[in-house]
Amino acid sequence: MNNKHTSYKVAVGGVVSALCLTLMFLTGVFPLLSMAIPIYAGALMIVVAREVSTSWAFAAYCAVSLLSLFLTPDKEASTLFIMFFGYYPIILPWLDKIKFKLLRICCKLAVFNGAIIIWYKLIALIMGVYDFLGDFAFLGEYAVAAVMVFINLVFALYDYTIRMIESVYVNWFRPTYFGKKKPKPQSKKDHS
């Protein structure tokens, strides 16, 4: 029984990892979706976290992160997956357990802003990506504040959406497609 259980965990982790990598690879085919595809790939981590465990979900996240660095044509998308969208759906249930709403919101914003600032600095320093804040020069000295407010509003929408996706998965998709069916009782003829 234990081997069956382990093989199930490996199968779920492997299939979800393969789907995530396939999505990440598509950033080279659909470059306009380079910000959206890491979100889709990260949402798939909900399956591993719910069907197996969070430790297996983190293992799948690490595998996808490492492989996406080598296989994904768009390095910005792969680093965005690594820095935030890959692990956020895994840690979201822990963040949602914080009882005080203001503290919960502050923790979520701290995780997001920390990850995005590190991602931006990494992209700007290592990969030589231009300073996109120059595109917002018309805002003058308020450009950084305006961009931060905007991306935090987008994050609030993302946080709500990922919780709704998880809710749909747990309450509808999972029972409909992975629901436990009672095994048929075996007749005495089957035993002989």
Residue by residue, pLDDT tens for the chain (192 residues) are: 455 588 999 999 999 999 999 999 999 999 899 999 999 999 999 999 999 999 999 999 999 999 999 999 988 899 999 999 999 999 999 999 999 999 999 999 999 999 998 988 888 787 666 666 666 666 667 777 888 899 999 999 999 999 999 999 989 998 888 775 443 444 455 444
Report the pLDDT value the prediction gives residue 112, as an integer from 0 to 100.
Answer: 96
Q: Is residue 145 part of a domain?
A: yes
Q: Is residue 101 part of a domain?
A: yes
Q: Is residue 185 part of a domain?
A: no
Residues 6 or more apart from 62 whose CB is under 8 A from it? none
Report the pLDDT value the prediction gives residue 1, as an integer from 0 to 100.
Answer: 47
Query: Per the structure, how many domains does the chain have?
Result: 1
Report the pLDDT value the prediction gives residue 177, as an integer from 0 to 100.
Answer: 83
Report the pLDDT value the prediction gives residue 3, as an integer from 0 to 100.
Answer: 56
Q: Is residue 187 part of a domain?
A: no
Q: Which of 13, 63, 55, 61 is nearest to 41 (CA)?
A: 61
Which range of residues forms the domain containing residue 41?
2-176
- Interhelix angle for 88-96 vs 54-71, to 10°? 150
* Cβ neighbours, 10 Å, residue 109: 14
Q: Which of 123, 49, 48, 128 is nearest to 82 (CA)?
A: 123
CA 94, 98, 99, 105 dihedral sign is negative
Q: Which of 109, 151, 81 is nearest to 143 (CA)?
A: 151
Report the pLDDT value the prediction gives residue 142, as an integer from 0 to 100.
Answer: 76
Q: Is residue 92 part of a domain?
A: yes
Instruction: Say if CB 25 and CB 72 are below 8 A apart.
Output: yes
Report the pLDDT value the prediction gives residue 2, as an integer from 0 to 100.
Answer: 59
Q: Is residue 188 part of a domain?
A: no
- Rounded CA gap, 167 and 156, in Å? 17
Report the pLDDT value the prediction gives residue 111, as an integer from 0 to 100.
Answer: 97
Residues 6 or more apart from 73 whose CB is under 8 A from it? 25, 27, 28
Report the pLDDT value the prediction gives residue 76, as an integer from 0 to 100.
Answer: 87
Report the pLDDT value the prediction gives residue 5, as an integer from 0 to 100.
Answer: 86
Q: Is residue 186 part of a domain?
A: no
